[in-house]
Amino acid sequence: MKDLNQNKIPRHIALIMDGNGRWAKQRGEHRLFGHTKGVDAVREVLKAAKSFGVEFLTLYAFSTENWNRPQEEVDGLMNLLVDSITNELPELQLQGVRLVVIGDLKGLPGNCQQSLLNGMESTKNNKEITLVLALNYSAKWEITECVREISLKVAKKELLANDITPELISAHLTTREIPDPELLIRTSGEHRISNFLLWQLAYAEFYFTDIHWPDFGKEELKAAILSYQSRERRFGMVSEQLSE
């Protein structure tokens, strides 16, 4: 595999970690076994992203639609999340990882909220890489909340309708302090966006791989970044303008 061009590393990579269930099924195991292995992949990919110089890594860990899964799986995922945050916290500190959560935190179980708040508070000054966990998140939820908030400000005359610009909308999203991702990766062969970062991905490059999430690691991340680096990002312009 070629070396990465250090001058073209995406600042922010968003990841839809798909295929834990299928990975487990192929091995005759329970779906939760796949999710547990998925946490190992998170650990490896976070380390690799940091070593490549990526500044923000956003993981779609639990969508607002995931509540519709069997209760046993939902409970298992919530427990896994609490255990992972608790167990990984010393390593996150050591690696200089800042933890940020986007999504409707209030809708998560109390112990989950507590461990996330604790994780965010204790890592808030870390500077090596920001790990953004999208939990109880969906882009339609986020955009709805944003519209509601802006409408209230207009109703209270704190804002005029004419003040509403793309920048103002970005400043009212849960990602307001995070740059938009340049690269979206989805594993496990599905070619869908699944209600993830609809606004923020407007100009992202998409990379799909058939590999299931538990098998995704440093080499696979490098392959995705190499693919990103081979693309021409035109932002609505024509090729010739980019070389001017």
Q: Which residues are at the interface with ligand FPP (CB under 6 A)?
A: 17-22, 35, 38-39, 42, 59, 61, 66, 80-81, 84, 133, 188
Give 21 or 181: the residue with its C-beta nearer to ligand FPP. Answer: 21
Asked if 213 contacts 187 with a C-beta cutoff of 8 angstroms, the reply is yes
The answer to whether the beta carbons of residues 37 and 214 sit under 8 Å apart is: yes
Beta-carbon contacts of 32 under 8 Å, excluding residues fewer than 6 positions away, are 24, 73, 76, 77, 80
Supply 114's token pair. Answer: 């507590």
Cα separation values, 20 from 17, 25, 37, 159, 210, Å: 8, 9, 8, 45, 12
Query: Closer CB to ligand FPP, residue 27 or residue 231?
Result: 27
- Least distance in Å: CB of 234 to ligand FPP? 32
CB 208 within 8 A of CB 191: yes
> Which helix (H) or strand (E) covers residue 78, if one does?
helix 71-95
Token pair belonging to 88: 């990984």
State the minimum distance, in angstroms, from the CB of residue 99 to ligand FPP.
10
Pick 99 or 201: Cβ nearer ligand FPP: 99
Nearer residue to ligand FPP within complex by CB, 132 or 150: 132
- To ligand FPP, the closest distance from the beta carbon of 4 in angstroms equals 24
- Active-site residues, by number, are 18, 66
User: Least distance from C-beta 38 to ligand FPP, angstroms?
Assistant: 3
The residue ranges of DSSP E strands in 19-137, in sequence order, are 56-63, 97-102, 129-137
